[in-house]
Structure 1
Amino acid sequence: MASNGSAGIRDSPLEPGIFLEEELGSDWYIYESPEPAAPDDLFPEAIPECHPTISPRLYHTVMAPISLAVILALSFLVKRRRLRQSCWNGVPGLLSPGNLLDGDGPRAVAAAVFGILFSSLCQLVLDPAPLPLASPSSPTAREFWKILALLYYPAFYFPLLGCAAPRHRLGYAAGTLLAWGHCGAQLGHRLQCPLAPKIHPLYSTLSHVPVLLSLALLSLWYPAVLLRSLGRAHAPETQIPGKSYYRRYLKAVLSKRGRKGGPAKIEESLQARIRSHLLSYVYIPEEGFRIPLMLVVSVTMAVIAVYQVSVLLLAAVVPALRAVRAGLTKDVVVLLVQFGLVPSRGPAVPGAMEQELRTARHYLWALEVCYICSLALCCLLTCAMLLRTLAMHRSNLRALYQGAVLDVFSKAHILRPSRESIVCWMGFSSFQAAFACLGLLIQQVIFFLCSVAFTFLVVIPLQDGTSSPLFGIIRNMWPFWLALVVAVLLQHLLARSQFLERRSLHRELTNRRALCIVTFLLFPINVLVGVLAAVWRVVISGLYNAVHLCRLDISLLHRGVETFDPGYRTYCHYLKVEVSQCHPLLKAFCFLLLQPGRSEAPAPPRDTHLEEGLQLTHPKAPAAGRARSRRLRARWCVAYTLLHNPSLTASRKTALADPAANGAQLGVPRP
């Protein structure tokens, strides 16, 4: 009966369904209940709306009219009270944001204000309300307000830099009040509302760190300069800006002190060469030379750009990877197993599902580590390239100051300002910041892909003890790699021992017939070697260009077409303006001309009661030799500045254009 019953069950119409149900019931892929994901990990709690005491709209509504009033008052002060009534008949004009071509100006103030402006523009790109004074009604209107904001923010922060331009106590006092107002409002807003729903809760606070540091610097600098000016209230007006620096530069050039240390060794050890190469990427200040103000601003903007881009990349990607890893379920793991992204242990292995879930989470953790490590490496490389730019810029400026144009440019250039050079000088710092941003993004993509490939093709298979596709390719193609290595080594050995003959003074080619035979026989293998060399050329060119994209002092193109590189062309024209307008020897010569002469003491009255012979004798001046030496030294300094100024070469006479006029020895002097 039992057998008949079982046979009846098998012959019943439900037999296929029961059999399918029994087979699927043993498969954990379908019926094993997945673990529910934590809702807090996948969907974090919404950040409540924050209403600070001083809202952004109120802050801009109050500070914008105050800044406008301050800049107008200082303009009137400069025109009326500082002996400039002859300029436009004393009509007030707009203040300058400092002399950016000056070598001895307030460098920290300029860098801080430019940093505030650039950080505000970085936040402007992602802000839904770009203009704080008005809210856009549509996406089209938002883009229009962004264009207006690009003009509003420079005008809004302009007084922070303009207050330092007059070099007056009232300007310093106004700058102190403005800096304290901006810093207090920004700091209060960050403390009351540290979290924001944009991108990441902490992104708004982290992106405002350069703004807070720059405002803190201004809040300390303006009061310090104000107290210093009040301390010398009865002192005369300050000297011409930059005079001290150009005097120090001239003194360093004319110094007769010998170089420290002995002569350089011809052969250096490997450790010494590595050390010198690493030190070439570190900018060490030297006596008598200062980096131009615009380059200081450019490097500061590039560093802030690296910080802003790295914070954005971290806030946009890392939390998303962590949320995906925390919310990973077994259903998703089943899908990954079916696509082959996660290795399968098989349904018969107990606990295989939990093991594969841990493996998938481990893979996501490895992606996060690769992303963070590649981003840190990109930031370090970009900062190293910027330091290298400072060292190269100093050597280029020194060469151009001496008139060695061909040591810097591939072709001869006239160091005169032109329309294109002025435009490039104005956009140099902006180009540097933009190139740093784009270079960091490209580096991050390349290094992240390389680190992921190395991790999943080498590191993880070695940890798990499994076979990697890369190891399989290398194992299967070992005859090919062995043939290439043997062919290359054979050519090097033959070239060293058979095809090159060493003589007393030089080397010569020998065994030419054997050389031609070996060349023909190894032609197919050299084609394969050439393919690998071409691949390596593409890889190394891409890595080199990605790493050096932030540098404007070198061209990424060939010397014949380097003018098509917009970054390098901007840098070349920037150098022309800097050298022609800020030549330190020329400035020192101008300051020597503007220096007032020393008034000599009047001659003592003659005694009329002396005899006639005594009256005819001329009394000897007590310090005539010292005065004469001072005059000779001053005239020699003037002549030196004139002869070594390349910008005056075109204005000299034909006789002075001869290299012999500048002290060059063209031949053996006549007896």
Structure 2
Amino acid sequence: EFWKVLALLYFPALYSPLLACAGPRHRLGYAAGTLLAWGHCGAQAWHRAQCPLAPKIHGLYSLLSHVPALLSLSLLSLWYPARLLRSLRNGDSPELRISGKSYYREYLKALLSKRDRKGSSVRIDESLSSRIRSYLLSYIYIPEEGFRIPLKLVVSVTVAVVAVYQVAVLLLVAVVPPLRIVRAGMTKDVVVLLVQFGLVPSQGAAVPGDLEQELRTARHFLWALEVCYICSLVLCCLLTCAMLLRSLGMHRSNLRALYQGAVLDVFSKAHILRPSRESLVCWMAFSSFQAAFACLGFLIQQVIFFLCFVAFTFLVVIPLQLGTSSPLFGIIRNMWPFWLTLVVAALMQHLLAHFQFLEQHSLQKEITNRRALYLVTFLLFPTNVLVGAMAAVWRVVISGLYNAVHFCRLDISLLHHGVETFDPGYRTYCHYLRVEVSQCHPLLKAFCFLLLQPGRPEPPAPPRDTQLEEGLQLMHPKHPAAGRARSRRVRARWCVAYTLLHNPSLTASRKTALADPAANGAQLGAPGP
């Protein structure tokens, strides 16, 4: 058991040197990363080709389950040599080692630009097709100029997609091949049992010699079950990926709002965006939580949609194909007075409310015929109880489907606003945002890079005339242009520092030491007696 626990650290310890080679941004690191990437990629390919236990699960499972690892290692095998060649060509200058410097400059330029945004004008008379198009486009993450999603969010979504892929492959291999084996080995003796239990319809006597039609029907049922399983699996994969892409758009909106200081636009109540012990723990566990929630939500969706597909297929599609009566159709046909009563009651209430109980005045509507309204309310109470029961069933179905589909998203809470802190996924996401915004504010880093920029090199002084007097040679005349340039540079840096200190949207991004007067350059007075 101890070795099983230590096995959880095997892959992080194995691949951590490969990822650490990109940290120094030096040619030696890129060279080591190239060798490690090539070695890992070759070892994975050789292991997949020579593994003797691969066919025990399924012939293609070993290959399909390692496709993400092979693709990632192949990408690193190309990325490290490209970075190495770029480093050899341009050199290891300190400017190139600063991560994200160009992005922070672009963010500052986009923030200070005076261009009108394309989405500033909103059309009131928007058509239905354009609204549907905009709703569908909201599930597709489109990069915007001047804003970049943090790397940890991209890695978290990628890891979640890979984890869902692994679970989908495992579910596919665990169910579909056994179903095919059962369908191929179906015999008439098994069909007799199915006919006796009423699972397969029979045209005549259940004699083993006269069950050819029943045997074909049983195999057709198993084939339909396999199709339902594969369709539900594909639908769950598409829904999970769509929800993860939608969460990227929500991440961008939340980060942009927090960068601007609009805390109440993201959280239900005001929060201080400073790191804490719980925030750091949630920041470390965010990617793992995203993968775990995505896999569990995928399993829940698979169970729900598989049952829905099976119910629709065996209660609607197959009875229509075979020309037999469906139990669902029989229930609906026998309960037609109930459904007619509900429809008539709902329609009558809407008509009475529109024509008898509301009276149009100049600018508003007023309630009229109050005695008749009370009488109709009392008479329709039992009928409305039945309508309420149907509405309650519909509420359970809708809430279950909504929660199952959105279970993989950590940026929204599945609980009410008052008790959303009991949602561990949403609480982890909120603490992650606190750490990300307080430590990686792009505007703060852009101004810091402006402060760290070296001044412009002064032009070389002209050669002095050797015929001048010795006293003039000993003089050091001051250049007024250089003094003015230096004063402008000092003034600009003081303006940047003043902006960093007094911008309210950057208050949570500053270090807490800046609140000390001594840290800001003020002199402390003598302590009082």
Instruction: Please indicate, yes or no, whether the TM-score normalized by the shorter chain is above 0.5.
Output: yes
C-alpha contact (below 8 Å) 2:188/2:208 kept by paired residues: no
Aligned to 1:645: 506
Residues 247-286 of structure 1 deviation map (CA, whole Å, 9 limit, x = unaligned):
1111110111122377321131111111111111111000
Q: CA deviation at 1:489?
A: 1.1
C-alpha contact (below 8 Å) 1:370/1:448 kept by paired residues: yes
Residues 530-549 of structure 1 deviation map (CA, whole Å, 9 limit, x = unaligned):
11111111111111111111
Letter in 2 for 1:184: G
1:585 aligns with 2:446: no
Q: Name the CA distance, whole Å, in 2 between partners of 1:505 and 1:608.
A: 96
Q: Name the CA distance, whole Å, in 1 between partners of 2:208 and 2:196.
A: 19
Q: CA deviation at 1:188?
A: 1.9
Aligned positions of 1:76-91 closer than 5 A: none
Q: Name the CA distance, whole Å, in 1 between partners of 2:268 and 2:127.
A: 32
For structure 2, the 5+ residue unaligned runs are 470-477, 516-529
Q: 2:133 aligns with which of 269, 275, 294?
A: 275
Q: Name the CA distance, whole Å, in 1 between partners of 2:379 and 2:496.
A: 70
| Residue aligned with 1:291, SS | coil
Residues 467-520 of structure 1 deviation map (CA, whole Å, 9 limit, x = unaligned):
101000100000100000111111112222222223332222222222111111
1:315 aligns with 2:173: yes
Q: Name the CA distance, whole Å, in 1 between partners of 2:282 and 2:30.
A: 32
C-alpha contact (below 8 Å) 1:195/1:204 kept by paired residues: no
1:339 aligns with 2:200: no
Letter in 2 for 1:378: C
Q: 1:187 aligns with which of 45, 48, 67?
A: 45
Q: Name the CA distance, whole Å, in 2 between partners of 1:539 and 1:516.
A: 32
| Residue aligned with 2:6, SS | helix
Letter in 1 for 2:129: Q
| Residue aligned with 1:383, SS | helix
Q: 1:374 aligns with which of 212, 232, 244?
A: 232
Q: CA deviation at 1:160?
A: 0.5
1:159 aligns with 2:20: no
1:493 aligns with 2:354: no
C-alpha contact (below 8 Å) 1:194/1:202 kept by paired residues: no
Residues 150-199 of structure 1 deviation map (CA, whole Å, 9 limit, x = unaligned):
12221111100111111111111111111111111111222345972343
Letter in 2 for 1:166: P
Aligned in 2, Cα 1:376/1:236: closer, same or farther, shift over 3 Å? Answer: closer
Aligned in 2, Cα 1:637/1:449: closer, same or farther, shift over 3 Å? Answer: same
C-alpha contact (below 8 Å) 1:173/1:222 kept by paired residues: yes
Q: Name the CA distance, whole Å, in 2 between partners of 1:236 and 1:242.
A: 13
Q: 2:286 aligns with which of 412, 417, 428?
A: 428
Aligned to 1:242: 100
| Residue aligned with 2:226, SS | helix
Which deviates further from its counterpart, 147-156 or 324-333? Answer: 147-156
C-alpha contact (below 8 Å) 2:108/2:446 kept by paired residues: yes
Aligned to 1:446: 304
1:416 aligns with 2:274: yes
Q: Name the CA distance, whole Å, in 2 between partners of 1:480 and 1:629.
A: 85
1:518 aligns with 2:384: no
Q: How many percent of aligned residue pairs carry the same amino acid? A: 78
Give 1 or 2 for the bigger CA radius of gyration. Answer: 1
Q: 2:319 aligns with which of 453, 457, 461?
A: 461
| Residue aligned with 1:415, SS | coil
| Residue aligned with 2:399, SS | helix
Q: Name the CA distance, whole Å, in 1 between partners of 2:118 and 2:296.
A: 43
Q: CA deviation at 1:622?
A: 11
Letter in 1 for 2:378: F
C-alpha contact (below 8 Å) 1:164/1:172 kept by paired residues: yes
Letter in 2 for 1:588: A
For structure 1, the 5+ residue unaligned runs are 1-142, 610-617, 654-671
Residues 84-106 of structure 1 deviation map (CA, whole Å, 9 limit, x = unaligned):
xxxxxxxxxxxxxxxxxxxxxxx
Q: Name the CA distance, whole Å, in 2 between partners of 1:261 and 1:185.
A: 50
Aligned to 1:222: 80
- Per the normalisation by structure 1, the TM-score is 0.71
Aligned in 2, Cα 1:320/1:471: closer, same or farther, shift over 3 Å? Answer: same
Q: Name the CA distance, whole Å, in 2 between partners of 1:289 and 1:348.
A: 70
| Residue aligned with 2:366, SS | strand
C-alpha contact (below 8 Å) 1:337/1:344 kept by paired residues: yes
Aligned Cα root-mean-square deviation (Å): 2.7
Letter in 2 for 1:341: L
Residues 3-25 of structure 1 deviation map (CA, whole Å, 9 limit, x = unaligned):
xxxxxxxxxxxxxxxxxxxxxxx
Which deviates further from its counterpart, 400-409 or 255-264? Answer: 255-264
C-alpha contact (below 8 Å) 2:27/2:84 kept by paired residues: yes
Aligned in 2, Cα 1:231/1:500: closer, same or farther, shift over 3 Å? Answer: same
Aligned to 1:506: 364
Count of aligned positions: 502
Aligned in 2, Cα 1:496/1:641: closer, same or farther, shift over 3 Å? Answer: farther
Q: Name the CA distance, whole Å, in 2 between partners of 1:623 and 1:503.
A: 78
Aligned in 2, Cα 1:442/1:524: closer, same or farther, shift over 3 Å? Answer: same
Aligned in 2, Cα 1:650/1:216: closer, same or farther, shift over 3 Å? Answer: closer
| Residue aligned with 1:508, SS | strand
1:544 aligns with 2:402: yes
| Residue aligned with 1:578, SS | helix
Aligned to 2:142: 284
Q: Name the CA distance, whole Å, in 2 between partners of 1:490 and 1:163.
A: 73
Letter in 2 for 1:434: A
Q: Name the CA distance, whole Å, in 1 between partners of 2:23 and 2:92.
A: 21
Q: Name the CA distance, whole Å, in 2 between partners of 1:516 and 1:184.
A: 81
Aligned to 2:519: none
Q: Name the CA distance, whole Å, in 2 between partners of 1:650 and 1:162.
A: 28
C-alpha contact (below 8 Å) 1:416/1:577 kept by paired residues: yes
Q: CA deviation at 1:636?
A: 5.5
| Residue aligned with 2:359, SS | strand
Q: CA deviation at 1:446?
A: 0.4
Aligned positions of 1:142-153 closer than 5 A: 143-153=1-11
Q: Name the CA distance, whole Å, in 1 between partners of 2:333 and 2:140.
A: 44
Q: Name the CA distance, whole Å, in 2 between partners of 1:333 and 1:236.
A: 76
Q: 2:185 aligns with which of 327, 330, 346?
A: 327
| Residue aligned with 2:412, SS | coil
Aligned to 2:452: 594
| Residue aligned with 2:456, SS | coil
Aligned to 1:174: 32
Aligned positions of 1:528-567 closer than 5 A: 528-567=386-425
